[in-house]
A = this chain, B = another copy of it.
Amino acid sequence: MAFDTLSTPHGRRTRCIGGAATHASVAASYFAPSLGLVGVVGEDFPAAYRAILKRRKVALDGLSTAKGKTFHWKGRYDGDMAVAQTLKTDLGVFATFDPAVPAPWRKAPFLFLANIEPGIQEKVLKQMTALRFSLLDTMNLWISIRRAALLKVVKQVDAVVLNDQEIRQLTGESSLIKAAKACLKLGPSHVFLKRGEHGATLIGAKEYFHLPAFPTDKVVDPTGAGDSFAGGLMGWLAREGRTSPAALRAAMAAGVVLSSFQVEGFSLERTVRLKTPEIAGRLKALRSMTNF
């Protein structure tokens, strides 16, 4: 959970609602039958932001409020907006976060470990008692400075979601195919590779599935695109209640579609107001874009 202060060629926003868990939850809410968020905010986190999540039926029993300030990210995107430039990061209450999963949620079958320090991710994972599918996200920072802790938690999850740079950094392989295969040896049965404008690829021991990015020329703010991708796909799996190859593929398509909406507005501006037919329309279009 975060405040984001950011500028892109399309405008700027100050202290808008952000954070990986936020974006993933809202994306997942379009599919998941029920959904809870575990995280921490400071005393400065406004009720209006909680209300946004509640309206999307995201349960907040796992959201603790700690003394101090909410995590705050300040950044900007220039040019083609492929890479965020971080101007400042205020860790705030993240520095001492000790996550507690509410008792009734510990039996949840589907878990998304959004990007955060890997020791914290593992603490959440250890509290779960009936997992059927767990997905882990991370970032270059943790691959670099928390490598051992990260590898330990990666070994215990069913799947990871990484972008090009992250998987190369994690495995030391420059070829994406080789990097993905190396990643499977670390423990997960599947890798979801986020390739930005080049789409997404699902790779498993006997699986290779690729989708293009949903083509759009109105990228307003890329923040949260990867989180919406992961959230959309986990929400879809939760709705299906299955992790068959077909379910994983359709789930990835749902992730691609949710992330395509996410980038069309700042913060949650576009993603909180989606209509079911809009989502279905892009899923159908995505299918036709790869059909021959």
Contacts and interface: CB of A to CB of B under 8 A. Distances in A.
A41 interface: no
A211 to B, nearest CB: 7
Interface in A241-292: 246, 249-250, 252-253, 287, 289-292
Interface in A97-150: none
A204 interface: no
A178 B210 CA distance: 22
A291 to B, nearest CB: 8
A104 to B, nearest CB: 33
Contacts of A210: 199, 211-212, 289-290
Contact of A289 (B175, B209, B216): B209
A165 interface: no
B211 A290 contact: yes
Contact of A174 (B79, B212, B253): B79
Given A198-B199, A215-B208, A292 B80 contact: no
B80 A174 contact: yes
Contacts of A44: none
B177 A217 contact: yes
A249 B208 CA distance: 20
- Which of the listed residues A177, A178, A212, A246 has the most CB atoms from chain B within 10 Å of its own CB? A212
Contact of A197 (B175, B208, B219): B175
Contacts of A216: 177
Contacts of A208: 212, 215, 289
Query: Which 7 A-B pairs rank lowest in CB-CB distance, beginning with the nearest?
Result: A210-B212, A290-B290, A198-B198, A249-B292, A80-B174, A177-B217, A177-B215
